[in-house]
Amino acid sequence: MSLDTILFAGCLVHEPLTGVPEVRQRISLSKYPGVSQVHNFAEMFQIIDVLRGEKDVPPHYRKFLTRMTPQLAPVPNARDFCDIDVALLEPASPVEVNFRGYVLSRNCIYQHIVKPLHSVSKEAMQCANSWFRVGLMDLNESVRADTAERMLGYIPTDIAIGTELARAVVTEARPQRSDIERGFRRMQALLGRPIGVVTYTFRYMEDGRAISWPAGFKEEVVSVAESLGLPIFDPSPLVHEFGVSRALLADQGHYSEAFLPTIADALATFAESVVRSA
């Protein structure tokens, strides 16, 4: 019998559990199929708000800013998630980006605002990269403000997101750091179901070393989860055992097709153990 599961995680959890047919006999994601990949607690809360009908995200924002699927809509049982056996959480970043009452996806910001400037000029590319990586992701307000002002002159008129919205995001988006303990406690209260925590590894070195970003973030997640008695699964030993070059794609941050069945089996086994220990 499969476990009804909801994922609040990124591609390192979603891809194995949705892309390996054999695991579907053990893990079912059918109750909340519209739940998309997330990287931080604020994005998790935003999805729950939509599931509960307490918030809506316009289609244009979903497509370009939040990575939220069109299928995500209010679900009656989201009030207490009574139809869920287990939830898997994978906080992948302590940085939340807010814009006009919405929480933006870092992937969307890069894909739809930063990347289009790469083809404008070298100066535009450098400015956009600094705005994103240093200003937003590193929470450097002086760099964010300086690069945002300069970026306005580089935004192309044919940018897919729309010039007006792109300029507004560059000018108005503000990053802030998550409170990790508050995030876990709030998710416990909102879900009311057994929770398992999957740790996130930003990159792997060729020798197998797991790199956390920002420094200390993974350790903080583990420390808080342990203090709350939440079960934890760290995929990095399995990656090391399988072999980094075989387990990962060339970017050292995403799993290879060859490794997906192995990590999918491990994630399913972890979810089952979370339910048994609840």
Domain extent listing, the chain? 3-94+178-277, 105-176
Question: Check: CATH 3.20.10.10 for 3-94+178-277?
Answer: no
Long-range CB contacts for residues 130-136, cutoff 8 Å, separation at least 24: 131/170, 135/175, 136/95, 136/97, 136/106, 136/109, 136/173, 136/175
Strand, coil or helix: 251: coil
* pLDDT digits 0-9 by tens, 26-50: 999 999 989 999 999 999 999 999 9
Mean pLDDT, the chain, as a whole number?
96
CA distance 53 to 140: 35
Tokens representing 65 are 């800013």
CA distance 35 to 27: 15
Residue 102's DSSP bridge partners are 99
CA distance 98 to 201: 24
Burial 3-31, CB ≥16 within 10 A → b, else e: bbbbbbbbbbbbbbbbebeebbebbbbeb
Q: What is the pLDDT of residue 250?
A: 84
Q: What is the pLDDT of residue 151?
A: 97
* pLDDT digits 0-9 by tens, 103-159: 999 999 999 999 999 999 999 999 999 999 999 999 999 999 999 999 999 999 999
In this predicted structure, the answer to whether residue 252 has a pLDDT above a threshold of 80 is: no
C-alpha to C-alpha distances, 218 to 115, 133, 161, 258, nearest whole angstrom: 28, 19, 33, 26
Tokens representing 86 are 């287990």
What is the DSSP secondary structure assignment for residue 104, as one 8-state letter? E
The answer to whether 66 and 105 have CB atoms below 8 angstroms apart is: yes
Burial 200-217, CB ≥16 within 10 A → b, else e: bbbebeeebebebeeeeb
CA distance 265 to 21: 11
* pLDDT digits 0-9 by tens, 77-99: 999 999 999 999 999 999 999 99
* CA nearest neighbour of 101 among 166, 20, 172, 152: 172
- Phi, then psi, of 80 in degrees rounded to 5: -135, 5
Residue 269 CB: number of other CB atoms within 10 A?
13
Name the residue type at position 4.
D
CA distance 232 to 225: 7
In this predicted structure, the answer to whether residue 246 has a pLDDT above a threshold of 90 is: yes
* pLDDT digits 0-9 by tens, 157-206: 999 999 999 999 999 999 999 999 999 999 999 999 999 999 999 888 87
Q: Is the pTM of this model over 0.85?
A: yes
